[in-house]
A and B are shown apart, each in its own frame.
Chain A
Amino acid sequence: MEKPLLSVRNLTIDIPVGGGTLHAVRGIDFDLNRGETLCIVGESGSGKSLTSLAVMGLLSKTIRRTADRMDFDGTDLTRATPRTMRALRGARMAMIFQEPMTSLNPAYTIGDQLTEALLLHKPVGREAARARAIELLEKVGITAAESRLSQYPHQLSGGLRQRVMIAMALMCEPELIIADEPTTALDVTIQAQILRLLYDLGREMNMAMILITHDLGVVARVADKVAVMYAGELVETGPAAEVFNMPSHPYTRGLLRCIPLPGKTERGSKLGTIPGIVPSLVGDVQGCAFRTRCSYAEAACHGDIPRQGSGGHAFRCIHEDGNRHFEEAIA
């Protein structure tokens, strides 16, 4: 089997807060092969963004990151010096952020900001960098690309800015691209366009992509692999088709009930909700974090939670199949 491009084992992120420690991410494992798209889904605060920032080495200094293993194409990211990380960032791994309105520096032209990463990492001249910038702007569907180079961010709409951000991330042809909810700040009509663009470009350039989203509709269309996060834990992970067809963790099933699926959801039927709220992660966190909202919770959920499942499809629950049979019986 092919060696994965990115391999993460037991990633843990702790944030010191007022009176203690916020265990924001606890023991995450995942692998990502070249050209593959991994979607991390979960609600706000589940640790999706922190996980991606941890891979990029962009967590703020006060946040503590530990991992048994974080391997990017043979480079051990847990021990990488700031210098090594800088050489990787922008060149071999790039990131697209949530907020296109504020993620571009207001003081510099689009051209300056597009060419910056290329000039920093590759031995190319200004002219070549400009040419590359124009090429990519055209590729992300921006018309009059050349004249855009001398424009400033405030002169562009949100959708255009996000296209610029995508072009910027692609400048050095990275092997890994992380997109953190790249479309949440945009109009609904633009969202689909941008995602399609990102997906097509990823395929075209054979890039591995981590797409962070809470939109399961998107996941269903683009993901090769899915990772479902809840309150800092990876509750279920596996090939997209398997997770969608056999959602095993009660939380995954709850999430899927919340979205209408064409052909599956009947007209006029009620969409599901997950009652309750996410627990606080400050202090010692034991057992399954979802137990406060889970209808199958029992005393054993306070203890160690076994890892279940076979092959690539895994989930954490004390129930053998996450009580899926129970729901299927009712249905």
Chain B
Amino acid sequence: MAHTNINDPLLQEITGPTPGQMLRRRILGHQGLLIGAVVMAILLIVAIFAPLLAPHDPYAQSLMHRMEPPVFLGGTWDHPLGTDHLGRDYLSRLIYGARVSLMIGTIAALISGVIGTAMGVAAGYFGGRVDMVVTFLINVRLAMPVVLVALAVVAIMGGSLQVVIAVLGLLLWDRFAVVMRASTLQVRRREYVAAAQAIGASTPRVILSEMMPNIANNLIVVVTLEMAHAILLEAALSFLGLGVQPPTPSWGLMVSEGKNMMLFEPWLVLIPGAVLFLLVLAINLMGDGLRDVTAPENRS
């Protein structure tokens, strides 16, 4: 009679790992995602506990200790990363700068995420006129030179942290709208959405409990991308002197302030730029990793 086959694919499917276990395995197997997440977590902790971790007051000037070199260039442990042109402790300013960058990145990404997701989902779900209007607005937004508009508005309204966050939040929603519109269009045609509509579920219910869970992975990826984008833009605005204003410790501003002494003390520019690079790199690695790990084609 027929012999039982231990290689039977059906049997393997039954005894195989659960989707949750597989997801965990993929996350732990993804180097980029892990590295990004660890760096990101460290910087987040540094930003949150800045007052506890910073050795000095980031605003305290000392004309006696101007431009002291970092400890690896012959400085002292009192100022491990040296001091700037006003004698402020560079490490402390870097630590507080993490707060500025992360706060701007997070809040701007949240604001633009809400705007863009609402627009994109509405366009994808309702289609027709709504879609036309949203597509048009996306086109308009893409045609606006972000750096120029952001610079001009910030310059006119004054470079406070709130203004920079608001301007970036109101400008960076385009990618959310584009991606969410496409994902919604894709999911909308699925049978489970039709099924929910058929049993009489309300529109918000269909969108929130049937569609959102299936497009959330794309949303998370865009959140990371736009966070990185906002952080880089803030740094660029501040570098041009038209973003966050002194004496706020922004990494872009620190590069700008160090620029004049770049010839003699290149570390003044190198250190804040390197930290900025590291943060954005970590966020991007996380975003790429999340995309790889949650991509539907990897779920089999």
A contacts, CB < 8 Å to B: 276-277, 279-280, 282-283, 291-295, 297
Are B7 and A277 in contact, CB atoms less than 8 angstroms apart? no
CB-CB under 8 A from A279, the residues of chain B are: 5, 7-8
* Pair A277/B9 contact, Cβ less than 8 Å: yes
Q: Report the minimal beta-carbon distance from B4 to chain A, rounded to whole angstroms.
A: 8
- Report the minimal beta-carbon distance from B11 to chain A, rounded to whole angstroms: 10
A selection of 15 A-B contacts at a CB cut-off of 8 Å is: A276-B2, A277-B8, A277-B9, A277-B10, A279-B7, A280-B5, A280-B7, A280-B8, A283-B7, A291-B2, A292-B3, A292-B4, A295-B2, A297-B2, A297-B3
- Kindly count the residue-residue contacts between A and B in the assembled complex, taking CB atoms under 8 Å apart: 26
Docked Cα-Cα span, A294 to B3, in Å, equals 9
| Cβ B7 vs Cβ A282 within 8 A | yes
Q: Is B14 an interface residue (CB 8 A)?
A: no
Q: Is B1 an interface residue, CB under 8 A from the partner?
A: yes
Smallest beta-carbon distance B299→chain A, Å: 16
- Residues of chain B with a CB closer than 8 A to A282's CB: 7
Residues of B within 8 Å of A276, CB to CB, are 2
When distances are taken between beta carbons in the complex, the residues of chain A under 8 Å from B9 are: 277, 280
In the A-B complex, list the 7 residue pairs whose CB atoms are closest, starting with the nearest.
Answer: A280-B7, A292-B5, A279-B5, A292-B2, A297-B2, A279-B7, A292-B3
Cβ of B1: which chain A residues have Cβ within 8 Å of it? 295, 297
Question: Which residues of B approach A to under 8 Å, CB–CB?
Answer: 1-5, 7-10
For the complex, what is the distance from the CA of A297 to the CA of B1, rounded to whole Å? 6
| Chain B: CB-nearest residue to A285 | B7
Taken together as a complex, chains A and B put the C-alpha atoms of A292 and B8 apart, in Å, by: 10
Chain A residues within 8 Å of B3, by CB: 291-292, 297
Q: What residues of chain B lie closer than 8 Å to A294, measured between beta carbons?
A: 2
Cα(A20)–Cα(B7), bound, Å: 13
**Distance in angstroms between the alpha carbons of A277 and B5 in the assembled complex:** 10
Q: Looking at the assembled complex, report how far the CB atom of A17 sits from the nearest CB atom of chain B, in whole angstroms.
A: 13
Residues of A within 8 A of B10 (CB): 277
CB distance from B298 to the nearest CB of A (A): 13
Quote the shortest CB–CB distance from A287 to chain B (angstroms). 10
Task: Please name all residues of chain A whose beta carbon is closer than 8 Å to the beta carbon of B2 when the two chains form the complex.
Answer: 276, 291-295, 297
Contacting residues, chain B, for A293 (C-beta < 8 A): 2
Closest Cβ of chain A to B297, distance in Å, is 15
Question: CA–CA, A279 to B9, complex, Å?
Answer: 8
- Separation of A282 and B9 alpha carbons in the complex (Å): 11
